[in-house]
Amino acid sequence: MQDWGLKEDLVSLAEAIKEAREEWLAAQRFFAEVTEPDLVDQAIFRLEAAERRYMYLWKVVRNQRSPGSERFQQPVTPAPDDLESVPS
């Protein structure tokens, strides 16, 4: 059976999802720590963009995986507890 590069695509997507999640967590930290009124809009924009990228990548995975495959799970929204486990 030929996989047409699907495995490589999924591996690349998995790495992109990991990076997007880290970016989202960093944006959450930045938003939580920002005190300058001029930076609040930037923090909100960065947070929303990171979240949308993360969700988009999961949508791509769901559309590419084979039916019945349970390898990839639904995305998990980072909880505040996750912020403590990610290095700054």
Domain boundaries, the chain: 6-65
Contacts of 17 (CB under 8 A, 6+ apart): 54, 57, 58, 61, 75
Of 59, 56, 50, 45, the closest CA to residue 86 belongs to 50
Tokens standing for 87?
A: 């290095």
- Residue 70 has what pLDDT? 54
Q: What pLDDT tens digit does each residue of the chain (88 aa) get?
A: 445 666 777 788 889 999 999 999 999 999 999 999 889 999 999 999 999 999 999 888 888 765 555 555 555 566 555 555 544 4
Please enumerate in sequence order all residues whose Cβ is within 8 A of that of 25, keeping only pairs 6 or more positions apart, or say none: 78, 82, 83, 86
